[in-house]
Structure 1
Amino acid sequence: MDYRTGVISSLAEVGEAAWDELLAAQEPDRAPNPFLSYAFLHALHESGSACAETGWQPQFLMLWDGDALAAAMPLYVKSHSYGEYVFDWAWADAYHRNGVEYYPKLLSAIPFTPVCGPRLLARDAVARKALLAFLMEQQQAAGMSSTHILFPPEEQTALLEDAGFMLRSGVQFHWLNQDYPDFEAFLATLEHKKRKNIRAERRKVNEAGVTLRRLRGADIDEAHWRFFHRCYANTYAEHRSSPYLNLDFFLRIGRDMPQNILLVLAERAGRPIAASLVIHTPDTLYGRYWGAQEHVPCLHFEAAYYQPLEFCITERIAVFEGGAQGEHKMARGFLPQKTWSAHWLAHPAFADAIERFLQRESGGIDTYLDELNERNPFK
């Protein structure tokens, strides 16, 4: 089939209806991934959080069948490796030490968001293969050092591997809802020590005089967003870093996708002191952002884990994806899950070296997963 191809720098060139219709067709039996929605991606770009000036130049690939959008791929020209959560700094350093340019590179990912989801968006298998062929043409013609596809679903990895991409595995921690009637029923499934520690952590927050409120998106006003952004920015400041996302981004998603947003607000003596923000669908909750204006022992666990867990149980949400890294999540009922990324490198010698590295690393990841599973927190 002959498709009309194009590269766009703004999703406004496609429009919200066409983009979200294509997204909804990816998994018809599930709610669309909110991080791939027009509202979320457009907010990243239009707020200036992910744009050419911040090293995330949008260059989305598009395929049209007549006037209908048949396939699309979120793609960026990257001038650095910040905000990716699949680390290739050592690769960039090896290039630099050998006098070869690593940046710019091509990256298909959701900026600052280590969430799995389709990267080759297509209405059918024929369009998906055509989209991948278009990507291969673009990466060859652009003269980039490499192309990286982060956190694709496992069912797309075979297609990518057949196209010459090298696969890399990683680990995240997810909580699975076993139809618990309440939080105590969940606790009852854990080992005694884990259960005791969680109760102790929640008690410390309560004894510190902190109360918590869960606000749905429609109930979050601008004052809430401004407070949350101060908390979020403070977390980065404490780590001597700069926040990736600005207030305008949060105001935009609050306005345009309130059905996907939950804000947990911690208060003491009638004033807010901390907050966590999670994104959710009816199927999945994604732990995302946290920050505090003052330190309270164990408040992070309460606001960012236990309150969202209670929300999952109440709303019968099946999965809570805890985000990148963090073995401490296992003590709170999260279990290790394998994730994937795919990598194509133009330089033959570096491609061979990285392929050997990935083979060794893969064995280490499998061993690590086995060790983690032996430490299962459940009875």
Structure 2
Amino acid sequence: MAEPGSPIPLVRFCTSIEDIAEADWDAFCPGSYPFLKHRFLRALEANGCTTSETGWTPAHLTFWLNGQLAGVAPAWLKTHSMGEYVFDWAWADAYQRYGEEYYPKLLIAVPFTPCQGPRLLLGDTLRKGLTPALLHNLLDSACDALGAHSWHVLFPNPADQQLLARTGKLHRLGCQFHWRNHGYRGFDDFLGALTSRKRKSIRKERRQVSESGVSFQRFSGTDMPAQVLSAFYVFYQATYLKRGQRPYLNEAFFRQLCTAMPEQLHLVMAIRNDTMIAGSLFLTGDDTLYGRYWGCLEEYDFLHFETCYYQGIELAIDLGLSTFDAGAQGEHKLIRGFEPVVTHSWHGIFHPGFHEAIARFTAEEAEHVRRYVDDARAALPFRQENTG
């Protein structure tokens, strides 16, 4: 409950990001975190990536205090679980087996983007007046209004986790691997922090790529030739087509993103015999480089590691950024100096029986994740004097 005398917030929803003025939305966005800027969400929606036809019906939440807009949250009614990276397919299957409806569900997240960050964009007055119990009640009421059977908040940052933390509610852990810039002056300086064996291994990988005749060129959104972005999109498509899937994003999205957020977009292209053969796209935040999309048309040993990881590390160092988040999964990142990071999600499951079963599962899963993270930290490739 709210503190005595505090106004009770109301929650409403919008069926399009265009229903909220860019200035009003971005006023609640902290810093330069790119994925929740109005322009990023508008590019997704305007180019047909997040629509009812794709199973991402916009249902952005707005929070109100005394008739004034006090906060927002990026939200969608989902009719599937694709593009989320916190996997609940087994939950949906269990519902179906017992004749219950799992979809639609209310998802508060960034589409196709497993990057930790703010999810509840709340003004100071509203945040200070909220308790976990009141927030959960507000999300429950949003589900009621939208006809959703559950709600899910994926990859929230620590500030939002404090608001979501409520005893008896479903809290799920995961693990990613992020690279940390410990004041490195360059890539060789980073290598110097590793054990001799790992340092030699990385140098060998990079040398093999170079000896294959592959070089690299960077482009920023402020100087992005149209043909370079088109070539990258072909590579991006290939990543999905190799798995028999359609890509989540279209070329029009990337073009609009390049126009809307040029200073935060960076592209590294691999070139062989004067022909672009692979590429990796990055976005920047206040202190973090986000490696988001990659693809190639020609396969070479270690090309993926070089294009996505080593080039990203060099870019992060050159830009003076403290963290490089290269995306989900990737135990192979560990031996290349990426450190394990615990990720979080919170879930409002209303069905009593399924809530109890899923709670047991998430508790067991969390213990496994904690042990895995401890083992991963022990396996980091840094020299002893560089661990801490």
Q: Sort the TM-score into its range (normalised by shorter chain).
A: over 0.9
CA contact (8 A) 2:308 2:326 kept: no
What is the distance in 1 between the residues matched to 2:139 and 2:191? 47
Question: Shift of the alpha carbon at 1:357?
Answer: 1.0
Q: Deviations over 1:298-319 (max 9, x none)?
A: 1111111111111111121000
Note if 1:57 corresponds to 2:57. Answer: yes
1:207 is matched with which residue: 202, 208, 211?
Answer: 211
What is the distance in 1 between the residues matched to 2:363 and 2:11? 35
* 1:28 corresponds to: none
Q: Percent identity?
A: 44
Question: Shift of the alpha carbon at 1:216?
Answer: 1.2
Larger displacement relative to structure 2 (11-20 or 1-10): 1-10
Q: Structure 1 residues 222, 69: CA separation in 2 closer, same or farther (over 3 Å shift)?
A: farther
After superposition, residues 72-87 of structure 1 pair within 5 angstroms as: 72-87=72-87
Q: Structure 1 residues 20, 234: CA separation in 2 closer, same or farther (over 3 Å shift)?
A: same
CA contact (8 A) 1:71 1:131 kept: no
2:371 is matched with which residue: 364, 367, 373?
Answer: 367
Larger displacement relative to structure 2 (220-229 or 330-339): 220-229
Q: Indicate the SS of the match to 1:242.
A: coil
Q: Deviations over 1:38-97 (max 9, x none)?
A: 111111111111111100001011124578531011111100000000000111111111
Amino acid at match of 1:247: E
Give unmatched runs, 5+ long, in structure 1.
Answer: 25-30
Question: Shift of the alpha carbon at 1:217?
Answer: 1.1
CA contact (8 A) 1:213 1:266 kept: yes
What is the distance in 1 between the residues matched to 2:103 and 2:137? 23
Q: Indicate the SS of the match to 2:144.
A: helix
Question: Shift of the alpha carbon at 1:3?
Answer: 5.2
CA contact (8 A) 2:278 2:297 kept: yes
* 1:328 corresponds to: 332
Question: Shift of the alpha carbon at 1:148?
Answer: 0.7
Note if 1:152 corresponds to 2:165. Answer: no
Question: Shift of the alpha carbon at 1:155?
Answer: 3.0
Larger displacement relative to structure 2 (247-256 or 287-296): 287-296
Amino acid at match of 1:313: I
Note if 1:314 corresponds to 2:299. Answer: no
Q: Structure 1 residues 183, 313: CA separation in 2 closer, same or farther (over 3 Å shift)?
A: same
2:261 is matched with which residue: 249, 257, 261?
Answer: 257
* 2:33 corresponds to: 33
* 2:69 corresponds to: 69
**TM-score (structure 2 length as normaliser):** 0.92
After superposition, residues 1-379 of structure 1 pair within 5 angstroms as: 1=7, 5-24=11-30, 31-65=31-65, 69-124=69-124, 126-127=126-127, 129=130, 133-162=137-166, 165-379=169-383
Q: Structure 1 residues 78, 352: CA separation in 2 closer, same or farther (over 3 Å shift)?
A: same
What is the distance in 2 between the residues matched to 1:324 and 1:265? 21
Question: Shift of the alpha carbon at 1:163?
Answer: 8.0
Q: Structure 1 residues 23, 62: CA separation in 2 closer, same or farther (over 3 Å shift)?
A: same
Give unmatched runs, 5+ long, in structure 2.
Answer: 1-6, 384-388
CA contact (8 A) 1:175 1:334 kept: yes
Q: Structure 1 residues 244, 17: CA separation in 2 closer, same or farther (over 3 Å shift)?
A: same
Amino acid at match of 1:7: F
What is the distance in 1 between the residues matched to 2:376 and 2:169? 28
Question: Shift of the alpha carbon at 1:136?
Answer: 2.3
Question: Shift of the alpha carbon at 1:199?
Answer: 0.6
What is the distance in 1 between the residues matched to 2:25 and 2:145? 26
Q: Deviations over 1:260-318 (max 9, x none)?
A: 11100111121211111011124100111111121122111111111111111112100
Q: Indicate the SS of the match to 1:337.
A: strand
Question: Shift of the alpha carbon at 1:101?
Answer: 1.1
Amino acid at match of 1:118: P
Question: Shift of the alpha carbon at 1:135?
Answer: 2.1
* 1:27 corresponds to: none
Amino acid at match of 1:255: T
Q: Indicate the SS of the match to 1:354.
A: helix
The count of residues paired between Structure 1 and Structure 2 equals: 373
**TM-score (structure 1 length as normaliser):** 0.94
Q: Structure 1 residues 165, 57: CA separation in 2 closer, same or farther (over 3 Å shift)?
A: farther
Question: Shift of the alpha carbon at 1:165?
Answer: 3.3
What is the distance in 2 between the residues matched to 1:20 and 1:157? 21
What is the distance in 1 between the residues matched to 2:294 and 2:312? 12
* 2:3 corresponds to: none
Amino acid at match of 1:252: Q
CA contact (8 A) 1:95 1:101 kept: yes
What is the distance in 1 between the residues matched to 2:297 and 2:98? 45
Q: Structure 1 residues 212, 32: CA separation in 2 closer, same or farther (over 3 Å shift)?
A: same
Question: Shift of the alpha carbon at 1:221?
Answer: 2.2
CA contact (8 A) 2:135 2:163 kept: no
Question: Shift of the alpha carbon at 1:10?
Answer: 1.4
Larger displacement relative to structure 2 (338-347 or 293-302): 293-302
